[in-house]
Amino acid sequence: MSVTDRVAIVTGGGRGIGRAIAVRLARGGAKVALMDVLEEPMAETVKLCTEAGSPLAKAYKLDVTDEEAIEKTLEAVNEAFGSIDILVNNAGITRDDLLMRMETRAWDLVLAVNLKGTFLMTRTASRYMMRQRRGRIVNIASVSGLAGNAGQANYSASKAGVVGLTKTTARELAARNVTANAVAPGFIRTDMTDVLPPAVKEKALANIPLRRMGEAEDVAEAVAFFASDAAAYITGQVVAVDGGMVM
Ligand code: NAI
């Protein structure tokens, strides 16, 4: 599964699943450009990527909802790294509440980061990939986007949107040898899920056939596969990494 010397952008690469993806790609020999709103954790991820064997790892402070900043940052990456071969759209947030109580602001924010951010990053990165007639786009969706989840109207809609966007991206870019696939994590142990009340965690665990929460590394393995040469003939697919929760 080679990603040697490929240039990979990982959004939300500061911590959690994004960090695990960046480190996994680094271990495969990829050059890694991290993008996150948080600078401090990104510096740590850069260190981990270098230790894992990445020939080049850099951090870029970026909000994925900022259209202009995306254009500039990707231009800077292309200058510094020489190409953009892999884009992992991982940055994501939650603002959970029951539908009847959900504030419009919470809806807008989650859709802006999770869905619009993925679109904006894809639009800009795909230009570089199409020009070089090679590219891999891997979007991080969620089982909430496949099966729905009470309390996550905004989040599940954004992630279902990511699935649709992935399939359209796959269709539009296939002729230029650019693939687009999505990984849908289930219940993964990160800062995002650490804040959930114990009762919610218990309930989720009861619905996981493999009887454990996933690790960020479990997700990273699937992403690394889609990003590699081994997945050359796979596009438009969604794979759940969820211990069997949704099947
Ligand atoms: P996390 O909260 O630990 O990390 C998310 C990262 O994204 C943070 O470093 C954060 O600073 C960054 N980020 C947030 N907004 C941003 C923005 N506007 N621009 C750039 N970076 C931004 O979350 P976690 O758990 O690592 O999640 C990563 C992805 O996996 C998300 O897309 C999430 O929706 C998805 N996911 C997570 C699951 C879980 O159980 N943890 C389950 C299913 C999906």
Q: What's the average model confidence in pLDDT over 90-105?
A: 98
Which residues are within 8 A (CB) of 90 and not within 5 positions of it... i.e. 6 or more apart?
10, 11, 12, 13, 17, 18, 21, 140
Distance from Cα 190 to the centre of ligand 1, integer Å = 9
Tell me the pLDDT tens digit for each residue of 141-151: 999 999 999 99
Query: Which is the closest atom of ligand 1 to the Cα of 14?
Result: 9
Q: pLDDT band for 192, please (50, 70, 90 cuts).
A: confident
CB 103 within 8 A of CB 97: yes
Query: Which is the closest atom of ligand 1 to the Cα of 63?
Result: 19
Give pLDDT, residue 111: 99
Pocket test for ligand 1, best of 42, 96, 188, 192 (most atoms within 8 A of CB): 192
State CA 26 to chain mean position distance: 16
Distance from Cα 18 to the centre of ligand 1, integer Å = 7
Q: What's the average model confidence in pLDDT over 145-171?
A: 98
- Has residue 1 got a pLDDT over 80? no
Q: What's the average model confidence in pLDDT over 112-127?
A: 99
Give pLDDT, residue 139: 99
Backbone angles phi, psi at 137, to 5 degrees: -115, 125
Spot the catalytic one: 60, 128, 155, 233: 155
Q: Is 155 a catalytic residue?
A: yes
